[in-house]
Structure formats: C-alpha cells, structure tokens
Structure 1
Amino acid sequence: MLRNLTIRDFVIVDRLELEFEAGFGALTGETGAGKSILLDALGLALGGRGEAAMVRQGCERAEVSAEFDLPAAGELLDWLREQALPTDDGALILRRTLDAGGRSRAWINGSSVTLAQLRCAGEWLADIHGQHAHHALLRADAQRALLDAHAGALPLASEVARCHREWQRLVRLRREAEADSESSARERELLAWQLRELDDLGFDPAEWQEINAEHGRLAHAAGLIEGAEETLVALAEGDGAVCSVLRHVDARIAALADYDPALADVRDLLAAAAIQADEALHALRRYRDRLDLDPGRLAEVEQRIVAVLDMARKHRVAPEALGELRQQWQARLEALEASADPQRMAVAEAEARRRFDAAAAELSACRAPAAQSLSAEITEAMQTLAMAGGRFEVALEACEPSANGVETVEFRVAANPGQALRSLAKVASGGELSRIGLAIQVMTSRDSAVPTLIFDEVDVGIGGRVAEIVGTLLARLGADRQVLCVTHLPQVAACADWQWRIAKREYDGATVSEVVALGASERVEEIARMLGGVNITATTREHAAEMLSRS
C-alpha cells in the first residue's frame, strides 16, 4: 500500500509530505482546492505523462516521491530483481523530477530508471480511476480487457494474439511465395550459381591469413637471406665476431673475479650474454638453411591472392567476409527452397492455425463463465444504484478469428424494467452511464491484485441514497486493500475510515494547496460543510454526525 507521498513545487503545491493509512480514505475540499492535483502528482510518480506546466510557477523543477510497501514475494519482487534494482528494506520508493523545460528523470529505490521501468513498477502498485473513466468503458478493447481481467485470462489473451500473429505471418509468406514464384525461381538459380562459384574458389579464412603471411616471406626472401648472412658474419664468421669477443672477455673477467668478488655480477652478465649470443647464432643458422628463393611458389601464392581479391571485389565485400557472405547466401537459398515447397508451407501454416485454435478455444472457455458472473454482479449492483429492474449483460458473439480470439465482447445494458438490452455505447443518459460505469469499476477492481485503488471524482452525477451506496461499496473494497477517493459527496466521505481536507491559501502573494488530516470533530465540520455550504447550522452538524455514526 501507499505509505508516503512527498510533493515539491507541483502546480499549486509548494511542499507537502503526506502519511497514508490503510482502508478507505476520502479527500475532500472546495472545487479547485487541489484535490485532483494530489492524484496527478501520484500519477507522475507512477510513470504518468509529465508536462512543463506541472512545475509550479517560478520554480526550476517539480519533484514527487511515493513510498509503497514492498511485497515479500510476487511478480513485482521478481521483476525488481530481474532489473537489478534494490529490494532490501521492505519499501519501494518511486521518485520523479520534472524541470521547467519539460525534461524528466526517474528513480526506483535510488537507482536511475527509464520512464518505461517506472511505469511498469507503478502498474503493480496502484490503479487510478479518473472522473471520466466510465467513458473509456465504451470502447470495445476496454470491455474485452475488463472481462479477461475478471476471468484471470490476460496472459492467455496475450498468447492468443501471439499465435494469431504467427499464423498470419505464415499465411502471408505462402501468398507471397505463390505471387512471386517466377522471380523466386530466378533468385534461387542465381544463388545456387554463386554458391558453386564460391565453393570452387575454396575460400577459407584461416588459409587466407596463412597465404598472406607466406606471400610476405616469399616476396622478401632475398632480403631475408641477405640480412641473415650479414648477421651470421657479425656473430661468428668475420673479424671481431661477437660470439668470440664475448667468450674472450667472459673468460678474462672470470679470471679477475677470482681476485675480486666485486666483479662477480659482471662475470654473470657476460656469461649470460655469451650464452644468448651462441643460441641466437644457432637459431639464425637454422632459419637461413630453411630460407629458399622459390619464384614458382611465389607466383602460385600471388595467383591465389588475386583470385580471392577478384571474388571479394565482385561481390563488394572484404576478402575476410567471403565466408560470412556464403552463409547468408545459403540461408537465403534454404528459405527460398522452403517457400517453393507448397506442401511444406501448408504444413507449417496448418500447425500455426492449430495452435491458434487451441489457444482461442481455451480463452473462450475462460470468457464464457466470467461473462455470466460479471453480468450477474453488475446487474445486482445496478439494483442499488437507482436502476431497479435494470439488467447488464456481457455478450459474446462468434466472429472471424482475430488477434482477440474467436468472439467479440460487448457490454449491453437495460437501465429500466422492460427495456431491451442495448450496447453500453448507446446508453443515452449520462447519469445512467456514470452509475453503470461506477458499478463496473468497483466490481472489476475486486479482481485486481493492485494493493492501492484510487478513484478521482468517479461519483460525479449521483447523489442521495445512491451516493451512500457507492460509499458503502468503496468501504467494502477498503476492507481488503487501500482505497483513496476524491469526492464532493458527503455520503461517500462519511463512509471513509479516514478523511483529509484540501484547501487553498495565500502565502507570500502566491496560492498554495494544503492538506489537513481531520479528527472526529473536524470530520463533522467538513461533512456539514459538504451538506450545507456556507451557512452551517446546528441541524446540519447533527445530520453530519449522524451520517458518520452510521458508517
């Protein structure tokens, strides 16, 4: 659940630090006092859209930080660990800044994250229902998603969509192959010829490196032989040969070292030098004996290099890339040969269709009972929302296979007894739509695993006994999870476990928003204000106290 919300320089909020409680909490106050601004700030921390206009006038940046309880286990914890984000202290802190230029940054538990990551984490933590959320229920995709969530079939719906995409991909490939059979045949013939040509060349990357090294030796063989001979003369065969001189001075210093131990280090160095010079001499003689001037082999090597370079130039690649180019040609040829085999393509397409049909059938089997139970629950709720005799139905109609399955989902309603069921999108009364939408939101929220539910003036358009029933429904939700509701209705606020009043005040010539947690007597005054307006009488207070005592 949401534990703490810290807001700085957000719209008309200068500094606020709010501590939240469990259960059902009501946020009340005059219109324009900033009630919805608090939820907008929370939405920003959850990864919602940020705009430069959200930064308080005259400030450089807005900052929002929301602290939630971190579940000891579950998908959210697994996701945090996959993202290598800290999970040690049992809390999850989402932080967001937004500067006056519109640039935004985000953190989770102090680690910098992308907005996509912040939004992903937020989806597990809180669900915000806006005051116009019932209008979204008019969309077919929203209705389908609500039913699938009620059925616990959202992962299965995603699998159906994936299977449909794969099936359609294979259908597309088969049709393209049929349409391009002639050009495909020409391309296969060209690829086969190119592969044979490259295979005849017998190119091998390792051989290419070796032959270049051999060419370097053969091309410079005369210089290598001459240099080796000169060095051999200097070491052992000429006047003042290095090896002879080293052996002589080594023997001389060794004799002197017998008289003065201080020469021992010099003796060791000279002895080592003499040994290394002798080893170099023997190695150089072996190298010279292997060297040979072979114009014929040099010509062969050069011819091979020219052949490889010509092939690489022909296909506009580096010689080293010829092996990779062959792999690409081979893969393309195999793909074309597969597409040229109608039986093979038909088998793959049929198998993909079979997988889609199986997944879609499983989804349909989940949707049918969920549609019945949701229909009954919403119909029951309508009876208490001033629509006695009204009916609600989640209609499933068979349709052509699509990424959404093999049936359409449509919410239908009859607001009054004797009326025929009609599409929810065709309900004429805005008040009826508001009440039905509220019932759907409250009922389907019970299916959500999100620990914090937020309702922003979703009770617009209702009042009296209906408002009291809505408050009771929200209070029931609050028994299982944290529920926050921005409301103007005293009947709804009176059902809350706790209540805050949001008000505007003037400070240093600027308008700011403040939040006051209300005690028992203060709640009576606030409910009375909501009931009676400017002039609050003793009777109004008694009525407010009575409403609170009944909740």
Structure 2
Amino acid sequence: MIEELRIEHLGVIAAASVRPGPGFTALTGETGAGKTMVLTALEMLLGGRVDAAISEGASIEGIWSVPPDGPAARMVQDAGGLVDDGELLLGRTAANGRLRAFAGGRMVPASLLAEVGEHLVTIHGQTTQQRLRNPAAQRGALDRFGGADHLHLLEDHRAAYRTWQELDAQLREARTRQQENAQRMVFLRSALEEIEKVDPQPGESESLHAERRRLANLADLSTATAAASSAVLGDETTDAAGAAHLLHLAARELASVDDPDLAALHARLVSLAEEASEVGRDISGFADGLQDEPGRLEWLNQRVHDLSLLHQRYGADDDAVLRWSQEAAAELTALERGSDLEALHEQEQKARRVLDRATVDLSASRTALAERLGQDATSELQQLAMPNATLQVVVKPADLGPDGADDVTFLLAAHPGATPAPIAKAASGGELSRIMLALEVVLADTDAVGTFVFDEVDAGVGGAAATAIGRRLAALAQSAQVIVVTHMPQVAAFAGTHLRVLKQQDADVTVSDVRALDDEERVVEIARMLAGQEDSQHAREHARELLAARL
C-alpha cells in the first residue's frame, strides 16, 4: 500500500506530503483546489504521461510497503534497485525539459514504473468509466474475475495464437515464393545447360585469342621465322652460312692455339654457338607448327563468340563463368529440395488444432464465469441503491484474435420488466459509476493489487445512492487500501482517514497543500461539503450525524 506521496512544484502544489491510511482514505477540497494534481502526481509516478505545462521542475516520490518477495519488489531488484525491508521508493522528476524515473534508488526507464505500478495500484476515473462501455474492457473485467487459473488459459491462448500466426505467415510466404522459385529454377536449368553445352575451360579464352591472332598473321609469321631461321642456321638454297655455323668456326680457330687467355674466350664461343643452334631449332619448330588448318580460324571465331556470350550473361571471364555455374548448381539443388510445403502445412495445421482447443477452453471458462460475475455484480448493485437492477454478462462468438473468439457484453436491466441492454446505452453516468464500483468490489478478491484509487466514483449520484457507495467503498477497504477523490459528504464520512486539499491564494500566486484532518476538522469539512458553509451549525450537526452513522 501507499505509505506516503511527496509532491513538489506540480501545478498549484508547491510542496505537499500525502499520507493515506491503510483502509479508506477520502481526499476532498473545493473545486480547483488541486485534488486532480494529487492524482496526476500518482499517475506520473506510475509511468504515466507528463504534461510539460504543469510539470516543469516537479519532483514526486512515493513510498510503498510491498511483500519483499512480491512481483513489484522482484522487478525493481532485477533492475538493480533496492527494496529495504519491504519498503519500495519510486520517483519521477522533470527539470529543464528532461524527465527521469527512479525505482529503489536507481534510475530506470519510465516504462518500468508502469510495469511495477500494475502490481501496486488500480486507478479509476471518469475515463475508466467511459472505457467500461467498451466491449474489450468488459471482456478484460470478466477475465480478471476468473483469477489466476482463468488468466493462465488466456496466456495459453495468446501463446498458441502467436505460434499459429507465425506458422500461417510462413506458409503463405512459402506458397508465394513457390511460384517465384519455379521461375528461378527454369532460368537456372537453362543457364546451366547453356554453360554445359559450351563447356568453358579455365583460361581458355586467352589462349583462343592468342591462337586466332597467330592465324590471322600467319603470312607475316612465316616470313619472319624463315628469315630468322636462315640467319641463325643458314640457307641451304644459297649455301649461306648462319650465325650458329660461324660461331662454331670461330670457336675452332681459337681452339687451334694454346693460350690460357683464349681458352676462356673459346668456352664462351662454344656456349654461344650451342645457344644459337638451339634457338635456331626452336624457330624452325615454331615455323613447322604454322599450319593453316582448313576451317580452324572459323572454328576459333565461333568458339570465342560462344564464350563471349557466356561472359556477358554469367561472368567477366572463363573463371567467373565457372564460379557462377557452381553457385547456380548449388542454388538449384536447394530450390529443388524446397521449403517442404507439406511439412510446413502439417505444422500449421497442428498449431491451429492447439489454438482451437485453447479457444474452446477459454470460451467455456468465460461462459461459466459470466454467470457468476453477473450474479455477484447484481448482488453488489442491490447494495448500491439499485435494488431492482440486474447485470447480465453475455458471451457470444466473435472473430478469432489473440484474446480468443468471444465478444463480452454487460447488459443492464435497471428495473423489473426492463429489457436488458448494453450498459453503454442503458446506464446513466451515476449508474455506470456504481456498476464500476460493484465490479471492483467483486474483483477485489481476485486482484493482487493492494491499492485502489477512485476519482469521483460518486459522480452523478446523491443522497441514498451516495451513502450506499460510501458503505461499499468501506467494505472494499477491509481487504485493500482505498483512496477516493470525492465531492460527496456521504462518501467522505465513511473514510477512516480524511485528507483535505487546501487552496491558498494571494494577489499573484495560488498554491495548494494537503492536510490530514482530525475529528473536529472533519466535521467542518463535511459541513462545507453539505452546505457550502463551514460555520453553519445545522450543517455541522448533519455532518456529525453522517460520521456517527458510519460506525
């Protein structure tokens, strides 16, 4: 429960300490005094939106007593914060346009405050009442009524729905890809057949280009090699000696004399002569290979053309084409193996069967809970000055979604003989307030939240209805901390702790403070709420009667 709420520089509140009691606490004050700021501070502290117009420079701290092993304590400790002997400190500041959130003495994301707050406080205001008109909110109330066992069914359904939805999306995507893959496989097969037919070899194009250039220059090559061969080996037709022969003759001349210096030169001449002879033979061999094979040039041109087409389509050269071919073959193998649509379809069908069972179980549980919730809420309404009203909770089939396949509608029959109609149409503002309170009283036993905050739950009611609301809030406060912002003296009279928001105004500034009232001060405040006059003796007597009647 909330032990203390400290507020600084928020709207009209300069500094205030709010200490609600453990049971029923009433928060009252004149219109415009700043009661809303107290709720705004609490909502900010629990990760809510921050209005920059009223929050600049604000500092808010809240102290809760929580079970040391409870979910709120665990969440804060998991984030690195401290929970000292069951005391949890939350904080929120706004300065220079920057917002900060704290939990257990550690800076945390504001989203963590919201998550922790779900285990600490339930806040009901005018917007909450309007949400109760929404079918989704009505279904949520029914689910809360089911407690842990029912909520486990809901979580199982959400998990089954996510699993089925993922598999269904995969299956639809695989079916879409199947046609695309079929077109891709046709292309890959055609390309691989084309490459296999040409059968390129590594580096082949380069050698083909060289051979083609040689054949194109065959006449020039023949003339050049013939002249070079004659110059080196000699010309038999003219008996002209070649360079090799002349070198051998020079070597024999030097060999005919005995001189140590000439011996080295002789050796060099012999080496040159042998090298010249070898070069000459190589030239002759090259010349002998220059044969103009019929059709060879045409074949070369066609081969180069075929390889060039492969280069244009699949790679810059022969090696690139061969690499592409290997990769394409691997891709084709993978595509032929495919995504196994049959297996994926089987998985999707299995997940759908699990989902269908979860949907049936969840709907059956809601149907059983609906009758109980209607009966319990009707019983509560009869104690809230609606003695002839009945609340029916109807569960009907709806489109399948994460939260099941049920539409939940709250129907109100305000008096005997009335046709039950959706509360969004049949309930007035005051009736809607009492329906919400009846639901909260019924749901209190299933909620782990220790604090309920009501903002003008008595709006639109008065007299006996307000007294009934006060009595039921006091009943709820037997098992939880209840904080109520109210304008109704009949409601405030049932509170065990009474806080008043006081507005102080001078020429330039209006500020508010929060004070705990003693017994006599309560009489004065309730008198003000009754008659608008604190010094009215008649109002004070009536106030004492209200306070005495609650005991």
TM-score normalized by structure 1?
0.70
Provide the secondary structure at the position in 2 that maps to 1:97: strand
- Aligned 1:116-135 pairs, distance under 5 A: 116-135=111-130
- Residue pair 1:145, 1:154 contacting (<8 A) in 2 also: no
Using the TM superposition, give the Cα deviation of residue 542 of structure 1 relative to its aligned residue in structure 2, in angstroms: 1.7
**Number of the residue aligned with 1:414:** 413
Unaligned runs of 5+ in 2: 196-313, 317-322
2:154 counterpart letter in structure 1: A
Query: What is the alpha-carbon distance in structure 1 between the residues aligned to residue 355 and residue 523 of structure 2?
Result: 59
Pairing 1:477–2:476 present:
yes
Query: What is the alpha-carbon distance in structure 1 between the residues aligned to residue 146 and residue 156 of structure 2?
Result: 15
**Number of the residue aligned with 1:66:** 62
Provide the secondary structure at the position in 1 that maps to 2:126: coil
Using the TM superposition, give the Cα deviation of residue 359 of structure 1 relative to its aligned residue in structure 2, in angstroms: 2.0
- Aligned 1:189-268 pairs, distance under 5 A: none
Using the TM superposition, give the Cα deviation of residue 193 of structure 1 relative to its aligned residue in structure 2, in angstroms: 12
- Residue pair 2:68, 2:83 contacting (<8 A) in 1 also: no
**Number of the residue aligned with 1:438:** 437
Pairing 1:351–2:346 present:
no
Query: What is the alpha-carbon distance in structure 2 between the residues aligned to residue 144 and residue 190 of structure 1?
Result: 55
1:174 counterpart letter in structure 2: L
1:178 to 147, 159, 175: 175
- Residue pair 1:52, 1:100 contacting (<8 A) in 2 also: no
Query: Residues 333, 411 of structure 1: CA spacing in aligned structure 2 closer, same or farther, 3 A cutoff?
Result: farther
Query: Residues 517, 130 of structure 1: CA spacing in aligned structure 2 closer, same or farther, 3 A cutoff?
Result: same
1:181 counterpart letter in structure 2: Q
Pairing 1:150–2:149 present:
no
Pairing 1:106–2:101 present:
yes
How big is the alpha-carbon RMSD for the aligned residues of Structure 1 and Structure 2? Answer: 3.0
The structure whose Rg is larger is 2
Provide the secondary structure at the position in 2 that maps to 1:61: coil
**Number of the residue aligned with 2:19:** 19
Using the TM superposition, give the Cα deviation of residue 406 of structure 1 relative to its aligned residue in structure 2, in angstroms: 2.7
Using the TM superposition, give the Cα deviation of residue 191 of structure 1 relative to its aligned residue in structure 2, in angstroms: 9.0
Query: What is the alpha-carbon distance in structure 2 between the residues aligned to residue 139 and residue 485 of structure 1?
Result: 24
**Number of the residue aligned with 2:426:** 427
Using the TM superposition, give the Cα deviation of residue 11 of structure 1 relative to its aligned residue in structure 2, in angstroms: 0.2
**Number of the residue aligned with 1:215:** none
- Residue pair 1:188, 1:337 contacting (<8 A) in 2 also: no
Query: What is the alpha-carbon distance in structure 2 between the residues aligned to residue 436 and residue 418 of structure 1?
Result: 19
**Number of the residue aligned with 2:466:** 467
Using the TM superposition, give the Cα deviation of residue 61 of structure 1 relative to its aligned residue in structure 2, in angstroms: 1.0
Query: What is the alpha-carbon distance in structure 2 between the residues aligned to residue 523 and residue 71 of structure 1?
Result: 33
Query: What is the alpha-carbon distance in structure 1 between the residues aligned to residue 439 and residue 94 of structure 2?
Result: 34
Using the TM superposition, give the Cα deviation of residue 428 of structure 1 relative to its aligned residue in structure 2, in angstroms: 5.8
Query: What is the alpha-carbon distance in structure 2 between the residues aligned to residue 15 and residue 500 of structure 1?
Result: 15
Query: What is the alpha-carbon distance in structure 2 between the residues aligned to residue 314 and residue 165 of structure 1?
Result: 45
Using the TM superposition, give the Cα deviation of residue 69 of structure 1 relative to its aligned residue in structure 2, in angstroms: 0.8
Query: What is the alpha-carbon distance in structure 1 between the residues aligned to residue 23 and residue 161 of structure 2?
Result: 43
Query: What is the alpha-carbon distance in structure 2 between the residues aligned to residue 138 and residue 2 of structure 1?
Result: 29
Query: What is the alpha-carbon distance in structure 2 between the residues aligned to residue 537 and residue 174 of structure 1?
Result: 77
Pairing 1:96–2:95 present:
no
Query: Residues 39, 191 of structure 1: CA spacing in aligned structure 2 closer, same or farther, 3 A cutoff?
Result: farther
Query: What is the alpha-carbon distance in structure 1 between the residues aligned to residue 507 and residue 105 of structure 2?
Result: 34
2:128 counterpart letter in structure 1: A
Query: Residues 166, 335 of structure 1: CA spacing in aligned structure 2 closer, same or farther, 3 A cutoff?
Result: farther
TM-score normalized by structure 2?
0.70
- Aligned 1:69-80 pairs, distance under 5 A: 69-80=65-76
Query: Residues 430, 76 of structure 1: CA spacing in aligned structure 2 closer, same or farther, 3 A cutoff?
Result: closer
Query: Residues 136, 78 of structure 1: CA spacing in aligned structure 2 closer, same or farther, 3 A cutoff?
Result: same
Using the TM superposition, give the Cα deviation of residue 361 of structure 1 relative to its aligned residue in structure 2, in angstroms: 2.6
**Number of the residue aligned with 1:139:** 134
Query: What is the alpha-carbon distance in structure 2 between the residues aligned to residue 458 and residue 92 of structure 1?
Result: 28
Query: Residues 28, 403 of structure 1: CA spacing in aligned structure 2 closer, same or farther, 3 A cutoff?
Result: same
**Number of the residue aligned with 2:4:** 4
Query: What is the alpha-carbon distance in structure 2 between the residues aligned to residue 485 and residue 145 of structure 1?
Result: 23
Provide the secondary structure at the position in 1 that maps to 2:119: helix
For each residue in 1:22-57, what CA deviation from the matched residue of structure 2 results, as whole angstroms up to 9, or x when unmatched?
1100011111111121111111111110121123xx
Query: What is the alpha-carbon distance in structure 2 between the residues aligned to residue 158 and residue 535 of structure 1?
Result: 54
Query: What is the alpha-carbon distance in structure 2 between the residues aligned to residue 335 and residue 536 of structure 1?
Result: 90
1:13 counterpart letter in structure 2: I
**Number of the residue aligned with 1:393:** 392
Provide the secondary structure at the position in 2 that maps to 1:87: coil
**Number of the residue aligned with 1:264:** none
Using the TM superposition, give the Cα deviation of residue 508 of structure 1 relative to its aligned residue in structure 2, in angstroms: 7.8
Using the TM superposition, give the Cα deviation of residue 354 of structure 1 relative to its aligned residue in structure 2, in angstroms: 1.7
- Residue pair 1:131, 1:459 contacting (<8 A) in 2 also: no
Query: Residues 345, 523 of structure 1: CA spacing in aligned structure 2 closer, same or farther, 3 A cutoff?
Result: same
Unaligned runs of 5+ in 1: 198-312, 316-321
Using the TM superposition, give the Cα deviation of residue 100 of structure 1 relative to its aligned residue in structure 2, in angstroms: 5.2
Query: What is the alpha-carbon distance in structure 1 between the residues aligned to residue 21 and residue 429 of structure 2?
Result: 34
Query: Residues 370, 25 of structure 1: CA spacing in aligned structure 2 closer, same or farther, 3 A cutoff?
Result: same
Using the TM superposition, give the Cα deviation of residue 447 of structure 1 relative to its aligned residue in structure 2, in angstroms: 2.7
Aligned length: 418
- Residue pair 1:446, 1:477 contacting (<8 A) in 2 also: no
Query: What is the alpha-carbon distance in structure 2 between the residues aligned to residue 193 and residue 550 of structure 1?
Result: 95
Query: Residues 383, 314 of structure 1: CA spacing in aligned structure 2 closer, same or farther, 3 A cutoff?
Result: farther
Query: What is the alpha-carbon distance in structure 2 between the residues aligned to residue 84 and residue 492 of structure 1?
Result: 41
Query: What is the alpha-carbon distance in structure 1 between the residues aligned to residue 336 and residue 120 of structure 2?
Result: 49
1:111 counterpart letter in structure 2: R
Query: Residues 500, 187 of structure 1: CA spacing in aligned structure 2 closer, same or farther, 3 A cutoff?
Result: same
2:100 counterpart letter in structure 1: R
Query: What is the alpha-carbon distance in structure 1 between the residues aligned to residue 107 and residue 422 of structure 2?
Result: 46
Query: Residues 133, 356 of structure 1: CA spacing in aligned structure 2 closer, same or farther, 3 A cutoff?
Result: same
Query: What is the alpha-carbon distance in structure 1 between the residues aligned to residue 33 and residue 189 of structure 2?
Result: 76
Query: What is the alpha-carbon distance in structure 2 between the residues aligned to residue 337 and residue 520 of structure 1?
Result: 84
Query: Residues 180, 414 of structure 1: CA spacing in aligned structure 2 closer, same or farther, 3 A cutoff?
Result: same
Query: What is the alpha-carbon distance in structure 1 between the residues aligned to residue 81 and residue 333 of structure 2?
Result: 46
- Residue pair 2:362, 2:404 contacting (<8 A) in 1 also: yes
- Residue pair 1:494, 1:527 contacting (<8 A) in 2 also: yes
Query: Residues 428, 549 of structure 1: CA spacing in aligned structure 2 closer, same or farther, 3 A cutoff?
Result: closer
Query: What is the alpha-carbon distance in structure 2 between the residues aligned to residue 336 and residue 154 of structure 1?
Result: 46
Query: What is the alpha-carbon distance in structure 2 between the residues aligned to residue 371 and residue 491 of structure 1?
Result: 32
Query: Residues 189, 519 of structure 1: CA spacing in aligned structure 2 closer, same or farther, 3 A cutoff?
Result: farther
- Aligned 1:523-542 pairs, distance under 5 A: 523-534=522-533, 536-542=535-541
Give identity over the alignment, percent. Answer: 38
Query: Residues 535, 175 of structure 1: CA spacing in aligned structure 2 closer, same or farther, 3 A cutoff?
Result: closer
Using the TM superposition, give the Cα deviation of residue 482 of structure 1 relative to its aligned residue in structure 2, in angstroms: 0.9
- Residue pair 2:434, 2:457 contacting (<8 A) in 1 also: no
Query: Residues 173, 189 of structure 1: CA spacing in aligned structure 2 closer, same or farther, 3 A cutoff?
Result: farther
- Residue pair 1:150, 1:370 contacting (<8 A) in 2 also: yes
